[in-house]
Amino acid sequence: MLRLSLVLLCGLFLPTACFAQVDTSSAGAVRVPSLCDLKHNPASYNGQWITVRGRVSMEFEDFSLYDPDCNGPDLPGVWLTFGGDQNEFAVYCCPSGTRKKGVDMEVEGHRVSLVRDGALREFQRVLQVGRLRRPDGSRCEGIECNLYRPVNATITGMFLAGQDSAENPGYGHLGCCHLLVITQVSDVSAERTQVPAGGEFKCSRETWNVSPADVVGLENLLACSGSLDEDCDHDRRIAVTRIATHWNDKVDVDSGHHQRHVDLVGDSTDRWISADLLTTYSTAAKKASAKLWVTRQVCVPVSNRTPNVLSNPVSCQEYTVSWRDDEHSAQRVDELRDKNQFDQANAKIAEASKEILGEGDQSWRLGDPKSAARHALQEQTGKWGVVPEAKLHLENCDDASLPEQRDHLVGCNWYSDDGTQVFWVALQKPKSKKADSAVGRALPWIITSVNATVCH
């Protein structure tokens, strides 16, 4: 995991002066290895400022720099993190948490600032922007939803070699890697994927119960249940080709994405989704009975709401107001949660949330959670200048609290038809002894956070 400490910025309004003080701009101070040389000889660059170019991978539990020609399984990767006060992008175990604003990162005695310029903004945009919902309205998460891949960049930063001793197991997710702390990004390039941006779709489904006579080309899906070896990947590609032939579909098998799941008895589900997210084959295999079912889903754009052309640049903006905006309260809540004192933590969250939408008539807080959350959404998006789509779909509005907890904890989610807007509102209030009692109805809902992601 990252081992970080924080130091005060030498001047909020003099970032270039601060940057110069780390000696990255002096002649001969910055070494320029290839990524292969860096991975094969990490000790020779340890604790030094370097500039290196490579392809950037960012997904769940991964934010790293790699070269397809130098990516051997025995070579630790190069984990990336930002200098300055930039929070982490990737979700992984175990980051150091939210960074304090106005404070530069210090790692292993090296202070690393961050040059915030157009190249950095473009780098962050192409790494993060993706379709928010699939064409069928389901959640779109994972690498298949990215609008830009691959992403290449030249990165200057502080390099620290990891995994060289028991005392230095490594950095990043579970100590997997060496570390490159980014101080500047340049020469960003990215390819637009086939994932549609915007657009409304109509989807249809049909199922093929595969008979013994038709199983040719598919039988190895059964033998490969739970296997991740290369031979099975080859067999899966053959199976997808056979499935596409059954429906006379013209698909690019190699550009699609696979998702696999195997249960305890060896039964498996194998889903292939095309690069444009419009064609999906979901295969269910029963290992004991050697039976296969394939469900095909095809989505087509609605004529009056087609996706944007692939050449149009896409950006997404995130908005949030949260109890975590109170830095002192956030620290105290984290301390209470670390001690498993969840009721006390929720009480602190309620206290820190009092100012969220606290002005004007508050009678809306006495309604049901769905209506209270929707009112909060309308009020807060107005403050942001965000206009939600006229037709938003409510995905859920569920109480996630445990029976023994003192508070109701409710989260409500909405999304737009075209997959460019998602909204989330979190609420809580104390539980009454009787769920539908007059006392319970008289307790107001507290809005603990409102979040929005809007893509253009």
- The last residue of one of the domains, among 269, 301, 333, is 301
CA distance 182 to 158: 7
Position 306 in a domain: no
Which long-range contacts link 429-432 to residues 24+ away (Cβ below 8 Å)? 430/406, 431/401, 431/405, 431/406, 431/407
pLDDT tens across 418-443, in order? 999 999 999 999 998 665 556 566 89
- Report the range of poorest mean pLDDT among 47-51, 123-127, 211-215, 280-284: 211-215
Same structural domain, 140 and 278? no
Position 359 in a domain: yes
- The last residue of one of the domains, among 301, 332, 351, is 301
**Total count of domains within the chain:** 3
Q: Which residues pair with 422 in a beta bridge?
A: 415, 453
Question: Domain containing 159: what range?
Answer: 4-192
Cα 246 → chain centroid: 35
3-state DSSP helix/strand/coil % of the chain, to nearest 5? 25, 35, 40
Show Cβ contacts of residue 255 under 8 Å, excluding neighbours closer than 6 positions: 194, 274, 275
Q: What does the mean pLDDT of the chain come to?
A: 86
Predicted local distance difference test score (pLDDT) of residue 290? 67
pLDDT tens across 314-352, in order? 999 999 999 999 989 998 999 999 999 999 999 999 999
Position 10 in a domain: yes
Same structural domain, 101 and 212? no
Residue 24 has pLDDT above 60, yes or no: no
CA distance 24 to 43: 19
pTM for the whole thing?
A: 0.83
Same structural domain, 73 and 207? no
Same structural domain, 367 and 435? yes
The token duo for 181 is 């702390």
pLDDT band for position 399 (50/70/90)? very high
Q: How many CB atoms lie within 10 A of CB 141?
A: 14
pLDDT tens across 176-202, in order? 999 999 999 999 999 999 999 999 999
Same structural domain, 257 and 386? no
CA distance 331 to 13: 27
The token duo for 422 is 């998602």
Same structural domain, 34 and 168? yes
- Measuring CA to CA, which residue among 42, 10, 6, 9 is closest to residue 180? 42
- The last residue of one of the domains, among 174, 192, 210, is 192
Predicted local distance difference test score (pLDDT) of residue 167? 64
Same structural domain, 24 and 114? yes
Q: How many CB atoms lie within 10 A of CB 217?
A: 16
The C-alpha R_g of the chain, in whole angstroms, comes to 25
Mean pLDDT of 288-305: 87
Same structural domain, 254 and 328? no
- Report the range of poorest mean pLDDT among 8-17, 154-163, 271-280: 8-17
CA distance 193 to 311: 10
